[in-house]
Amino acid sequence: MSHPHPSHESIPNSVIPTAGWHCGHYYYQFDRRVLTEMSDQNRRAAREEFGQILENSGEDRTERLQAFVVVGQKADFGIMSMDPHPLKVDAVHQRLMASTLGSALQPKYSFNSLSEVSEYVPSVEQYGQRLAAGGETPGSPSYEAKITAYKQREPMMRKQRLFPEFPDYPSMCFYPMNKKRKVGENWFATPFSERNRMMAEHARSGITFAGKVTQLITVGVGIEDWEWGVTLWGRNPEYLKEIVYTMRFDEASARFAEFGPFYTGYVASGGEILDHCRIR
């Protein structure tokens, strides 16, 4: 039996999600012409202030903040910030732009989204159904052992999707993506059972990179031009290449995925970013 939706009077006005956090990816390039016009004193002050902002301390700190050098010409550096409040996420960007170094920063790209638990993450019951479909006999020792293991890790899986800890990996990449809405390849017109089957295949490909790559999918539907944002952290950049290549062959990706620009970076402190970019 369906339950009636709560009346709008009972829903509090809030910018804080009922589950999950806001997430912001921001990318910048240094304007060297502006930098050459700054005095040595201002450049020293700018370096110090830049480092302090990226330390993410004090009253203005967000729940998560990471900075990284971006390779290539799309940007010089980027930040990823997460917090329950969207304006705290964006405040990191605003502090950078209002800083002494702000006049020499050119925003290049941004993506704002929300963390979520995907509808394709199986419940314990659904996981059991997948095991049975894969040939496991319900009630067998092997089946029960796998069910018990999944029960133990499911809460942590959901927590990591909503309130992720950033891994201590040196390399990362980010890209936005959509699911196709074309005749014959319309993800949203495909029955859930088929979408669930394809996403289960996708998940099996991803799990082979456990211990090498950590992935976070955030949703931009209704917020951004792209529907999802994918952040990958790798113990080595070669693992980023391998996981993306491997998963491109999965049906969910090969048939239905559309990808935006890739931004690849290497985790760094504020001082390391400035040194790498020769901002002295």
Between CA 83 and CA 62 the distance in angstroms is 5
> Are the C-beta atoms of residues 236 and 211 closer than 8 Å to each other?
no
- Number of Cβ within a 10 Å radius of residue 58: 8
CA nearest to 265, candidates 253, 277, 280: 277
Which residue is catalytic, options 127, 175, 239, 263? 175
Q: Going by C-beta distance under 8 Å and a sequence separation of 6 or more, which residues neighbour residue 202? A: 247, 250, 252, 253
What residues pair up with 27 in beta bridges, in sequence order? 78, 109
| DSSP tag of 279 | -
With b meaning 16 or more CB within 10 Å and e meaning fewer, what string describes 160-173? bbeebebeebebbb
CA nearest to 63, candidates 97, 28, 26, 21: 21
Catalytic residue at 150?
no
Catalytic residue numbers, as ranges: 175
